[in-house]
Chain A
């Protein structure tokens, strides 16, 4: 079936540097994409979302880029902080449904 996957299972970055977490999706019918952050022992927390009619969306210190041509999604975190250490998931939703498919996650480690 259709799935969402991630290229890197673990990403280590120096505090203050920018982080880029990537995600590939395979369902061309997906029209809504979300990034979540999950800290140890907690439920996922919404970071930012983007619809398929956009290619970029910015939030506070975060930017999501969507490339529909190659079915690629990325999350950029500016000036990465120790509190950003967590597992990050991308998720997609097929147009016309409420079924979300999550990727397997990337662990972000921020080095002091």
Chain B
């Protein structure tokens, strides 16, 4: 299994440009999520999905869109990039358990985005 993969690893954008960060997992996980991590800070949840066709907002959703057309893929779209979106972006996935067991999230390697 490849686990959680993210592309690209690095990206530089100009203010106002749009782009899509790709995330894929091959573990048949129902739950997928996107986080951003700014220097010296913890991760902040942008959007998440509990299954194909279902998405919801996290803590910092503004400026980002997501969709979940398949179980495997969960792309994150930046509509009009701003310097404030310069960050490292992590995608994660896990099983969705209602009780018991571990809801361990598996994280991808991250995408380092710079907006000029």
Q: Which residues of A contact B (CB under 8 A)?
A: 1, 4, 32, 34, 41-46, 49, 89, 91, 93, 98-105
Contacts and interface: CB of A to CB of B under 8 A. Distances in A.
Interface in B78-116: 90, 92, 96, 102-110
Contact of A99 (B41, B45, B109): B45
Contacts, number: 61
Contact of B102 (A1, A45, A49, A89): A49
B82 to A, nearest CB: 22
Interface residues of B, number: 27
B74 interface: no
B41 to A, nearest CB: 6
A102 B105 CA distance: 13
Contact of B105 (A4, A41, A46): A46
A101 B110 CA distance: 18
Given A42-B109, A43-B90, A43-B109, A102 B42 contact: yes
Contacts of B41: 104-105
Nearest to A104: B42
A44 B59 contact: no
Interface of B: 4, 31, 33, 35, 40-45, 48, 50, 56, 58-59, 90, 92, 96, 102-110
